[in-house]
Amino acid sequence: MKINSNYDNLVPNYLFAEVAKRTNEYIKANPDKKVIRLGIGDVTLPLAPVVVEAMKQGADELGHKETFKGYPDYEGYEFLRQAISDYYKGFGVKVDAGEIFVSDGAKSDCGNIGDIFGEDNVVMVTDPVYPVYVDSNIMAGRKIVYADSTAENGFAAMPPKDVKADIIYLCSPNNPTGSAYTYDQLKEWVDYANANDAILLYDAAYEAFITDDAPRSIFAVEGARTCAIEFCSLSKTAGFTGTRCGYTVIPKELERDGHNIYKLWYRREATKFNGVSWPVQRGAAAVFSEEGQKQIKENIAYYQENARIISSAMDELGIYYTGGKNSPYIWLKCPNSMGSWEFFDYLLENANVVGTPGEGFGKNGAGYFRLTSFGDRENTIEAVNRIKKLLAK
């Protein structure tokens, strides 16, 4: 037997393991120090009460013969897809309930979508990048090309003039750089994808953090319906990182290589996925109710305020950064030309604050650092005060 030898081409992703190792070693050697983690990419606030109540009701329904549910529809229950469609309508984007697939999260769909595409497509990702896009395509043996996100373009890569690709991953607001594309920037990407007969895979996992008029969906952009697929998630929007629920939108008219993409993905899901559980879909629908939206917005506002606290410290210190405004991430240039890991150690040892070295997300991350706003308020304020004291010297 043979394994998939493409796995030999994966670069070991030691980023978070190395962060944990260095942090734990420091804590062991300095047990009296209070270390604060601003590297965390997971949420910390609990689920909204209205969501918990809906999940409890869902569990109760499973306990009675009259309301018991077995296998769900592959694409998700109609009531949830309709609620998602109405949510899009709320920010002026038309997505039909019949174009939505409910999933167990954006990571799975971003990784699995490659099942329906040929191996010899060229894949474009931005650098720095959410590693799932890269690794899942290395596993499939696809060639990967890069569009550079740098300080020159505000860490929001634009289509390279001389490079073509068949599949393009974009993430806005971006993890890790926090930048959010404007309408005009997205229009350039949409035009580029349509002109190259490419498919744009758009990850909108952080759309709920947008505070200005940046598009909340790729389908707000003219021309996207003939080139784009959108992934979204309730993880950061509503605290579903452990509960698991997301959705993928494929316009019915999206065609490539003589095939309808919606139908291909339906076939893939029907073969390999048996849907999201009833209590979770009940809870997810509650997220989109009026009360649900009110409650989740309170949590998002809490993280946004943390992001504001971190960003204003960077402003005070005169440190270049992106994100913070439309995103829970603050992507900053390491002071005094320090390298990412050098700054990691410096911050850990002198301020007892943990962040994430940018070079773990790609070569353009070298010399950059990611802080997140998912921690609690008190710790965020304390961490920021320590950073200010250290770097203002």
How far apart are CB 245 and ligand PLP at their closest, in Å? Answer: 7
Contacting residue, 6, 26, 37, 41, with ligand PLP by CB under 6 A: 41
Q: If residue 349 lies in a helix (H) or strand (E), which one and from where to where?
A: helix 340-351
Q: How many residues bind ligand PLP (CB under 6 A)?
A: 13
Considering the complex, state which of residue 219 and residue 240 has its C-beta at the smaller distance from ligand PLP. Answer: 240
How far apart are CB 100 and ligand PLP at their closest, in Å? Answer: 15
3-state secondary structure of 74: coil
How far apart are CB 72 and ligand PLP at their closest, in Å? Answer: 18
**Contact yes or no for 226/198 (Cβ under 8 A):** no
Distance CA 86, CA 126 (A): 31
How far apart are CB 171 and ligand PLP at their closest, in Å? Answer: 5
The yes or no reply on residue 127 touching ligand PLP (CB under 6 A) is no
The yes or no reply on residue 201 touching ligand PLP (CB under 6 A) is no
Taking CB atoms within 8 Å and a gap of at least 24, the contacts of 112-120 are 112/136, 112/268, 112/272, 113/201, 113/229, 113/231, 113/248, 113/265, 114/140, 114/142, 114/167, 115/268, 115/272, 116/261, 116/264, 116/265, 116/268, 117/166, 117/167, 117/199, 118/257
Tell which positions 213-252 bind ligand PLP, by CB under 6 A. 233, 235, 241, 246
As beta bridge partners, residue 37 has 354
The yes or no reply on residue 106 touching ligand PLP (CB under 6 A) is yes
Taking CB atoms within 8 Å and a gap of at least 24, the contacts of 21-29 are 22/344, 22/345, 22/348, 23/348, 23/354, 26/348, 26/349
Contacting residue, 54, 80, 171, 330, with ligand PLP by CB under 6 A: 171
The yes or no reply on residue 356 touching ligand PLP (CB under 6 A) is no
As beta bridge partners, residue 353 has 36
Considering the complex, state which of residue 62 and residue 139 has its C-beta at the smaller distance from ligand PLP. Answer: 139
Residue nearest to ligand PLP (CB): 105
How far apart are CB 55 and ligand PLP at their closest, in Å? Answer: 17
How far apart are CB 255 and ligand PLP at their closest, in Å? Answer: 26
Q: What is the DSSP string of 152-167?
A: GGTT-----TT---SE
Cβ neighbourhood burial of 393 (10 Å; 0-12, 13-18, 19+):
exposed
How far apart are CB 103 and ligand PLP at their closest, in Å? Answer: 8
Select the span of 11-19, 68-76, 105-113, 188-196 touching ligand PLP (CB under 6 A).
Answer: 105-113
Q: Which of 106, 128, 114, 104 is nearest to 15 (CA)?
A: 128
Contacting residue, 203, 207, 230, 269, with ligand PLP by CB under 6 A: 203
How far apart are CB 195 and ligand PLP at their closest, in Å? Answer: 26
The binding site for ligand PLP (CB under 6 A) comprises 41, 105-107, 130, 171, 175, 203, 205, 233, 235, 241, 246
